[in-house]
Structure formats: C-alpha cells, structure tokens
Structure 1
Amino acid sequence: MVEYLVIGAGPAGLQIGSFLHRAGRDYVILEAESEPASFFREFPRHRVLATDDNSLFDGVPFGRYSKRAFPDADDLVRYLEDFARPLHIRYGTRVSDPAEYRARHVILAIGKKPHVPSIPGIEHADTYASAGTDPTLYARKRVLIIGRGRSAFETADNIAATARLTHTVGRAVQRIVKQGNEFVVAIDGTGELRYDKVIVCAGFRRDTSLDRPDAHVITGDSIKAIRHSARALHRTLEAEHHGVPWPHRKLRNRPDSLAATIASRARQIPEGLADVVVPQGQHAILYDEMPTTERNGFVVTSTQISHYRKNELIAVEHRLHRKPLERFFSQQLAVPCIS
C-alpha cells in the first residue's frame, strides 16, 4: 500500500513528486522507460526548444544548464535527470491498469502523444514522429505540412531551404489520395493539389488510456502550465487529506487596496486557475491559484473577476485595470469609491 501513486516521470510526474517528497508523503512514481523525461528525448524532433519557461518550481534554475534563447532539448533532459535523482521512482514499470496497485490516491502524469486527425487517406502521410529530419530528404520536393502549431512550423523551417515548395494548412484538408509517388490532396477553398511529401504535424493530445473517475490528472500545454497545475493539485491534496491550509494572505478590505492587488495579480494567473478573494470584515483573504471550481467571494482569472455569494453569480467585470476594478469593488462592497 502506498498513499500516492504517480504514473509518469515527465515534467508533471517529477513536479508533483517533488512536492510530495518535500512534504514527507508516502509516494512512488512509476515510469515505463528506463530514464525520466522520455518525451523530451524524442520531441521536439529538431532538438530546439521554444522560448518557454523550462524550469520547475523550487528546482535548480534552468539557466545553469543553458543560457541560449532557444535551448537545446538535451539541456532540458539533463535538467530533468538531475531533478529526478532524489525522488522515489521505479523505472521500467509499465502500467496497464492503475487498479492493479494498492494506492489511496492515483495521480496520472503520463503526458501527451502525437495527434493524427481523422482525414480520409491520412494513413498514407508521414507524421511528425516518423518523418525524417534531414533537410536533404526533401530537396526539390513539393511538401505539404498539415498543422498550424509549433511542430508544423518547426518542420517547415527545417526543410524550407531545400524543398521546392512548402505549404502549411490547418483544418482545410478534406482527403488524401496516393497516386504512384505523388499525393493528390483536396483542400477546402483551393481544390486538388499535388505533392511529393505530406507530413502530419497536428500537435499533441493528452494520453487518456489510463483515465479513471477517481484519479487526479496533471496536464498543460507547456512546462509552465504543468508546474502550476501540479502545485494546485498538491495544495488541494494537502488541504483535503492532511489538514494543511491553502496558502493565503490578508488584504485590507477596501476598494483601492483590493483593486491594486488584483490588477497586479491578474497578469500572473495561469489558465485554468483563479485567485479567490473572500471578504472577512475589515480584511479580505487572498487564496492564490486555486482550481476554478471555487465559487465563493471574488473569483479572479486572467480575463475577468466574478463575484459569487453562496455559489450564485452576482456580477462580472472584464476590465482588470485599477480604476475599473476600484469602481467594481465599490459597488460590490457597497462602500464609497476612494479617490
């Protein structure tokens, strides 16, 4: 029996594992491969990271591993290897059903896999995971790249200097027909075009193969989003199962004080999370980066502030600047606006 079973030793699994480790909880991380960070050993295919924030909470600053504006993916792998060393990880353990393990809480951190859209004839195309990365393979060829995200433009940039032409399209592809060595592609609004190569770079989707109703899931579109999600989950588990209060601070319960704090905080709140402000007499309590299921007091996301009373929506303000917020709080708190 283990208290916390974490499946996956990528950024999400390592991050939640670090929180559990420092809190002194009983946990184990199971990883199918023989090393951590298996996703980043394969992706991105051209081994250059975007200018994302590639450090984890309370870890060694990533700047110690690379100071390049576009770091090499192998630098991130080294970083994650070092981050994983003190954690309790069991490698070479592939999980087909979490129910086979005795655990009070299951946390799924198994990451994503390449997405292949449902287009007739898509099976004839190469994928982001299988297409060759040597630009000379595409010399004087007509290449269609299906996708409009990071992986698509990374691939297009890699072959642009050698390919005869490169087209990138999003959801407009209707079907793909293989005729000899050519691909005939029907594109909505354009008609049929012929290519020598078709590469599907349609991004990634979360692996849902191990999902179960009682499991917790950590996900995100970037390492930054993942680490915020992991921290919110850890705080939730600590509050619900170990009696550890959610981190909070006191503010003066006045429109000017609340508006100044919220105007500054709104730009920092990650997608999918919210700051919650609960008035209590002369003070207000600010709980930062909670799950957006909280429905009490003022719920602040990066795009709006909503006022709830006993789960009932009272008012919404989308202008998260100091003066509009001050007027909003004045109305909601029913006190004069302080000039």
Structure 2
Amino acid sequence: MTSSASGRTEPYGTFRTDPSEFVNQRVLVIGKGNSAFETADSLVATAAVIHVAGPHSLRLAWRTHFVGHLRAVNNNFLDTYQLKSQNAVLDGDVRRIERQADGSYLVTVSFVRADEVTKDIPYDRVIVCTGFRIDASIFSDGCRPDLTVNDRFPALTPAYESVNVPDLYFAGTVTQSRDFKRGTSGFIHGFRYGVRALHRVLESRYHDARWPGRDLPADPEALAAAVLERVNRSSALWQQFGLLGDVIVLDGHGGARYLEELPVDLEGPPIGDGGHFTITLEYGPEHDKIDPFDVGVGRIRQNDAERAAEGHYLHPVVRHHRAGAPPVVHHVTENLENEWTSQETHVEPLRAFFARQAASVPA
C-alpha cells in the first residue's frame, strides 16, 4: 500500500465494528489473514459488496497446521465469493488509494494472476488488516535491538534474548520471530510456554537455579518410559511443536536427568557439552503440501513403526546428540488419537533405539 493511503483508511484495531454502519456500502478489506476474513464475515449481512485483497495465495490453517493462517471459523466469506454473492477475494497488490471529493475511495489494484492487469475500483470504506510491527523507537541508540522479518520483530537467540543487546529479553507475541508462520509463539496458547521457558532461563542465568527436572537411570527401558509418559501428557511440547523440547542429559556414569521444555537449540547450561537426547513433537516434512481431506493421498499405517519417519501428522521425534557427529533420529509413528502407548508399535521400537545408542557410545 502506498503512502497516499496514510491516515485515510481504517485500521483493524480501531474501526467501528457495528455492521449497521456498512449498510449497502462497498467495502475493501486489505489483508488475507484471520483478522481480514473475520472482518469481512461480520459485514456480509449488511454491506453491498466486500472485497478482500492481498498479493499472496490464501493459506488455510487446516492444511498448513499454522493457526495464523485462515481458520475455518473465519472462512464463511469464501462461500459468498465462490457461490457468487458479489463478494470476492482479489489476488493482487493495492497500488494506490485516493480519497474522492464525496468521501469515497478509488483504489488501484494490480492483479498478480492476470499478467499484472491494473484496475481502479471504487469503495465506500477501506479497512486495513495487515498485522503489526514492533515500535523500536522506544529504545535508545545504545540498546536498540536488531530486527528481523522485514523489521517486524526483534531478532532473538534461543533464550529469547536480543542477538545484539545482552541482557535484553522479550516475551509474548513479539517472540514469534523464533517460529514465524509455522509455530504458535504469536498466540497466547503458544507463547505462554515460551514465557515459562524464559522464566527458567532467567532463574538459571541470574539466580543459579537448577532447571526443573528429575533423575532417572540411563537404561533403555527407563528412558523410553519417561519419554512416552511426557509426550502423552505434555501441552507445551504439543503447542510449541519443534520449538520447545524435553532434554535427557546423560552423566556418563549410568545416570541421566530429564529436563522439561527447553528451547531445542539452546546451548550450554543446563544441557552441557556431553551427549544428550532431545524429545519434540513435530509434523512430517512438507506436511503443508498435503491436502488432509484428499482420500487419494495415502498415509502410513498407524502400526507401521518402520515407516514412522514418513508420517505427516504431529508425532514424537527423539534425537541423540553427540559432539562432532550429526544427531541420530528416531520417529515414534503418528497416532490418530495421539496416544503413544502401544507396547509393540511405540514402546519397544523406542526402547530398542535407546539400546542401540547406548551401545554406540564409547565406554
């Protein structure tokens, strides 16, 4: 959107939401996320025409598994478009917005799917639903954090610390740069666990507090039981998939300590430099390219432990990390009800993995 629109459109955060104010009006909603479609849905009963515009392809949350993409609860508007109710989704860039003498708008849209065809379209209202960016002006030059993702968020280490300003930490939705457009750090049900991990990082670094965990023997059966107990009940690993993970730290003397909910790429204490295992919940590779409702797309059998790595849905992944070597990976096969309790399919293959890894470690 060009600067000519500044101050002349209505931002999502402040526009008047009473549908009766939009009776028989032509409305443009800029953006293709949940806020845009939520707004469009709310006006269907009163507005004459509603267009939702943006240059990128529409992505549905049920396919990508990213809750920031369009949720089903907000996509009723798509029916009014495809079933010809005079509403539409415009795939294009908004090049210019001009306020007319009568208070209406003339909007120039460049369509990306029609060889850059440009069209001027009249509207009575223009509502902007294009997200937010951090206001870095509150920081002085000596402590201004580096930004990332088109300068929308602070660039962070795995400990939620600014990459360029030591001892400056962030919590909440601004931490979504850590898993942008793929995880849940932009939402309360995700970043609440990131906040807890940050609290533990701060306690560890500044108050010499030990990361919460428990001791257990490093034998394969005990390790497998501990892992499956956690993945069957942990909401943090479920919500912060691939970002937070449990860690089993080996002491080299037949013992281990099971630590819960660490950033998976955190280095140093409390993990240390010795061998350890990480436990995460993850989707399969290219899971967002699979239509979950296409029955013609095959899936592995739920009891096929040998092909567990081919699973597209959320499932446990255990990695053995050793200095100077790539991690050795074990996938626990996906399960329709997310219950990894089968002795044959889940427990025994994981126990055997731990046994193999123990045998590979030099005495």
- Which bracket does the TM-score occupy, shorter chain normalised? 0.5 to 0.7
Which residue is equivalent to 2:63?
Answer: none
CA distance in 1, matches of 2:130, 2:352: 45
In the alignment, structure 1 residue 245 sits paired with structure 2 residue 210: yes
Tell me: CA distance 1:203–1:258, structure 2 relative to 1, closer, same or farther (3 Å). Answer: farther
Deviation at 1:162, TM superposition (A): 0.7
Deviation at 1:121, TM superposition (A): 4.7
Alignment of 1:54-93 (within 5 A): none
Deviation at 1:142, TM superposition (A): 2.3
Which residue is equivalent to 2:245?
Answer: 274
In the alignment, structure 1 residue 287 sits paired with structure 2 residue 226: no
Alignment of 1:137-216 (within 5 A): 137-172=21-56, 173-174=92-93, 175-178=95-98, 180=100, 181-184=104-107, 185-189=109-113, 191=117, 192=119, 194-196=121-123, 197-209=125-137, 210=139, 211-212=144-145, 213-214=165-166, 215-216=168-169
Report SS of the residue matched to 2:37: helix
Q: Name the count of aligned residue pairs.
A: 218
1:91-123, CA deviations, whole angstroms, 9 ceiling, x for partnerless residues? xxxxxxxxxxxxxxxxxxxxxxxxxxx556543
Which residue is equivalent to 2:193?
Answer: 228
Q: Which structure shows the bigger proportion of residues in strand conformation?
A: 1
Tell me: CA distance 1:147–1:317, structure 2 relative to 1, closer, same or farther (3 Å). Answer: farther
Contact kept in structure 2, 1:298 and 1:307, CA below 8 Å: yes
Greater relative contact order (CA < 8 Å, ≥ 6 in sequence): 1
Deviation at 1:128, TM superposition (A): 0.7
Instruction: Structure 2 unaligned segments of length 5 or more: list them.
Output: 57-91, 146-164, 174-185, 283-316, 335-345
TM-score scaled by length of structure 1: 0.55
Alignment of 1:11-160 (within 5 A): 119=2, 121-123=4-6, 124-160=8-44
Contact kept in structure 1, 2:5 and 2:98, CA below 8 Å: no
CA distance in 2, matches of 1:200, 1:312: 49
TM-score scaled by length of structure 2: 0.52
Deviation at 1:260, TM superposition (A): 4.0
Which residue is equivalent to 2:280?
Answer: 301
Contact kept in structure 1, 2:213 and 2:258, CA below 8 Å: yes
CA distance in 1, matches of 2:53, 2:35: 13
CA distance in 2, matches of 1:121, 1:332: 62
Report SS of the residue matched to 1:275: strand
Deviation at 1:256, TM superposition (A): 4.1
